[in-house]
Amino acid sequence: MFAAPAALVSVRATREDEKRSSDPWPSAQALKPDDFAREISDQSGPSSTVICVGFHTLFAGGHIPGASFHGSTSTQQGFADLKKWADGLPRSVNLVIYCGCCPFDKCPNIRPAYTALSNMGFKKLRVLVLPTNFATDWVDKGYPIQKGM
């Protein structure tokens, strides 16, 4: 009677581990929305440079306060814009990247952005994990947003 649920739990854990192993960042660099919302509201800690690597229309509709937009990194233009912008930054800057265009495991933007910035030598690089999308995992939770460009 208890064997079936245990087997199901085991299968779920394996699938989650497999999904995480395909991400180019270590789990310590993945941020949960509630943790990051607390971090940005706590002004006594180190500040982060927040970068949206999603689509322009989503950014203009609402984004994390203070975030900068550097194009959809699934496009050549967006990828080039991100790299050009980041080229002038000290490699010690605390960066947080996010997208939120779609379910995180299918996002075409977050992994290329992380890989590019990591390859450029940024050491304090973290990824905001929005499992469903920005609206569901950030806006609907009441976390702060800013509209416009």
Q: What is the CATH number of the domain that holds 104?
A: 3.40.250.10
Which one is predicted more confidently, 65 or 19? 65
- At residue 148, the pLDDT reads 77
pTM > 0.75: yes
Instruction: Establish if 16 belongs to a structural domain.
Output: no
**Domain containing residue 63:** 23-139
First to last CA, the chain: 56
- Is 11 contained in some domain? no
Residue 60 in domain? yes
Mean pLDDT, all residues of the chain: 84
Q: What domain count does the chain have? A: 1
Q: List the beta strands (DSSP E) in the chain.
A: 30-31, 49-52, 68-69, 94-98, 124-128
**Helices 76-87/110-119 angle, 10° precision:** 30
Residue 103, phi then psi, degrees to nearest 5: -55, 135
In a domain, 1, yes or no: no
Banded pLDDT at 8 (limits 50, 70, 90): very low
Range 83-105 average pLDDT: 93
pLDDT of residue 21: 55
Q: What is the mean pLDDT of residues 131-145?
A: 95
Q: DSSP secondary structure string, 38-59?
A: HHHH-TTS---EEEE-S-HHHH
80 within some domain: yes
Identify whether 112 is part of a domain.
yes
